[in-house]
Structure 1
Amino acid sequence: MSFKPRNLLLFGATGQIGAFILDALLSARDEFERIAIFTSQNTVETKADSLVRLKKNGVEIIVGEISDEEAVGKAYEGIDTVISAVGRGAILAQIPLIRLASAAPSVKWFLPSEYGTDIAYSPASAYEKPHQGKLKIRAYLENKIEVPHLAYTYVVTGPYADMYVYLLGEGPRAVGGWDAKEKKSTLVGEKGEGRVSLTTMKDVGTLVLATLRHPAESWNRALKVNSFTTTPAAIQAEFERQTGGERWTDVTYTSLPELRTLENQAWESGAPTAPLITLRRIWAEGGTLYEKRDNAMIGEPPVQTLEEVVAQELQRVNS
């Protein structure tokens, strides 16, 4: 394949995960002719200082609303690769973005906002409630009648390690997580021994950049990539090691049946934590594990370790 991405456009670049992707691209600024971001007027007004810094680093700022098809179409002029990092609430807004990208003469490659849990891990994945929006995006991208000339790549990372280790407090404690400040935790699964593959948010950026560097290996496929595979018990042991070596006394466990009960109750009551609980159940069931990950296909980029994640979390809570 002779294609090499040179002119990039990012959606959601100032959001939680988009900022890490943009940072990674800027670390390789000389590899690209253009790095542009499409952002709203609200972002211009609320993140003015950040946008000034981006401009100084050679980022082109295009202001508009993603619902404005004329503005999006104009933004695609001269762009060959589109990267989306829109949040869960805007997942379906990608359909017109994809349609317009397919119609744009210069655009060849689209990376949708796929970072996270594998939505096609098993036949059961098609019925998981949090997956439905992303499943519709995949179906649209793979429809060669609707999108005949646009290549795609799904960068599937599994849960974000940075968030996995401090979710305690965002929902019922039994959902699982670690409170490093109070030295208390809840481990999901039998003795916390279930394996889970995690990716740091920084590494999402690293892995997207590596994907762009390997189009021949990445086009029209899902890349299953991650930072490391561990267990809740191993995370607990690492927290204890980095907090003086003593056992934490406030450690509880949630079985998978208990987690399923919490999940059903959350959906029935309309709790905002319901998608989170479903995702944690999927992770605890092994829905991020593969016989072989795809990091090597994109050059085996350097990734962070569990030790680094725990150290960063301890620094966060103690700062």
Structure 2
Amino acid sequence: MSDVKCRNVLLVGASGNAGKNILPALLADTNFKVSVLSRADSSATFPANANIIHVNYSDKPALVKALTGQDVVVSAVGGEALLNNLDKSIIEACLQAGVKWFIPAEYGFDFNHDSASSIPINNGRLENIKILEENQSNIAHTFVSTGAFLDWGLDTGFLGFDIANRRVTLYDQGKNLVSGTILKNLGKTIVAILHQPQLTLNKRIYIADATFTQQDILALFEKYTNVKWAVKHATTEETLKNAEEAWTNGNVLDGYIGFILGLAYSGKGACDFEDKINNQDLGLERVSLEQAIKEAVQRNKINVH
């Protein structure tokens, strides 16, 4: 299927963190006729040059109709839709609608790594991978591992760094390697993937701007803020244990966050793939960790020294 055409491209989840960075990159490329699939009751707004298709995701015939005529469907769903495995419904509808290529919203971990199956929040995505691999004669796929979303993770504090208060939580002494990607480069990645099917169809693509430790980030933050940061320590073992307890007790958000941080910072390999990255193969420039930290300091209105 290396000759699959990708003129008509539909994006699901365009209003989320990933989608907001993928959509502009698709719209900027005149090779694509871009549509956005949006919930029927959504109030999200999108650029005028995107074709907006509203649909009730639970209405399977309507979903199939909405996807009919699309060459490629790119998913960027997150939050509740990701936890409820909306992608599975999208995949099933794609198969019925004759879509030729699907890119699921499984950005982040290397789901080929054994440790990815160790946390329950990954079960749905692992199920989707199996479905797509079993049906690749009918619909091609590309899996994309990005590691941590570096800029978003720093700005929100998700990665353990409290920029405003100069505090950090270091997991396992902050010494384990993690790969990470700037969100805007996810959009460039999707476009590059679509332009090079001979390299990307039915494969896992690894993208990273930098591979780093928390200690690396801390040193750069202290350099550019000219302040010694307060350090708190945690272990990934305890973090994963607490996440399991929260998840079991129905505290989905705390469980979700704990599982991601516990696995990402554990050093088990699911979020460290520097030796596999395809940036150069796809013609994607990398952003250095130092540049990423400098930009984070600037975005958060801290004087750069």
TM exceeding 0.5? yes
Is the counterpart of residue 263 in structure 1 residue 263 in structure 2?
Answer: no
Go from structure 1 to structure 2 and tell me whether the alpha carbon gap of 1:253 and 1:300 turns closer, same or farther (over 3 Å shift): farther
Map of 2:176 onto structure 1: 194
Please tell me whether the aligned partners of residues 6 and 80 of structure 1 are also in contact (alpha carbons under 8 angstroms).
Answer: yes
Q: TM-score, structure 1 length as denominator?
A: 0.84
Aligned to 1:140: 131
1:24-73 Cα offsets, whole Å, 9 max, x none, are 11222x122x1011112332xx33xx33xx11xx2111111222223322
2:91 paired residue number = 98
8 Å Cα contact 1:185/1:252 also seen in 2 = yes
> What do the CA deviations read for 1:62-99 (whole angstroms, capped 9, x no partner)?
11122222332222233111111112422422223222
Match of 2:37 in 1: 38
Q: How does 1:163-178 map to 2 (within 5 A)?
A: 163-166=152-155, 168=157, 177-178=160-161
Distance 1:199 1:94 in 2: 22
For the residues of structure 2 that align with 1:256 and 1:72, how far apart are their CA atoms? Answer: 40
The alignment partner of 2:73 has SS state of: strand
- CA shift, 1:143, in A, is 2.2
SS of structure 1 residue aligned to 2:292:
helix
Paired residue for 1:173?
none
- Indicate whether 1:154 and 2:140 are aligned: no
Specify the alignment match of 1:302 in structure 2.
285
- Deviations along 1:81-139, one digit per CA (max 9) or x if unpaired, are 1111112422422223222222324x2101111111223311x4323211011111112
Q: How far apart, CA to CA, are the structure 1 residues paired with 2:145 and 2:189?
A: 10
Task: Report the Cα distance in structure 1 between the residues aligned to 2:106 and 2:38, rounded to whole angstroms.
Answer: 19
| Distance (whole Å) between structure 2 residues aligned to residue 96 and residue 256 of structure 1 | 33
* Cα pair 2:209 2:287 within 8 Å, conserved: yes
Q: Distance in 2 between matches of 1:75 and 1:265?
A: 40
Whether the aligned pair in 2 keeps the contact of 1:110 and 1:151 (CA below 8 Å) is yes
Q: Offset at 1:166?
A: 4.5
User: What SS class does the counterpart of residue 165 from structure 1 fall into?
Assistant: helix
Superposed displacement of residue 313, structure 1? 2.8
Aligned to 1:109: 101
Post-superposition Cα deviations, 1:244-277, rounded to whole Å, max 9, x if no partner, equal 3x422x1222233443443344335443211211
1:81 equivalent among 63, 72, 79 = 72
1:229 is matched with which residue?
Answer: 211
Deviations, residues 171-217 of structure 1 (Å, cap 9, x unaligned):
xxxxx611111111111123x22111011211211211111111111
**Amino acid of the structure 2 residue aligned with 1:162:** D
Match of residue 64, structure 1, among 55, 69, 72: 55
Unaligned runs of 5+ in 2: none
* Cα distance, 1:68–1:177 mapped onto 2, change above 3 Å: same
Distance 2:152 2:27 in 1: 24
- What is residue 26 of structure 2 aligned with on the other side? 25
Q: Name the % identity.
A: 29
- Aligned partner of 2:277 in structure 1 is 293
Separation in structure 2 between the aligned mates of residue 113 and residue 256 of structure 1, nearest angstrom? 25
SS of 2:63's equivalent? helix
Distance in structure 1 (CA, Å) of the matches to 2:89 and 2:236: 39
Shift of 1:237: 1.0
Q: Does 1:6 align with 2:13?
A: no
Where does the alignment leave 5 or more consecutive residues of structure 1 unmatched?
171-175
Determine if contact 2:236/2:261 at 8 Å carries over to the other structure.
no
131-140 or 113-122, which moves further after superposition? Answer: 113-122
How far apart, CA to CA, are the structure 1 residues paired with 2:18 and 2:294?
20
Change (3 A) 1:41 1:200: same
Q: Which residue is 1:185 aligned to?
A: 168
Distance 2:54 2:237 in 1: 48
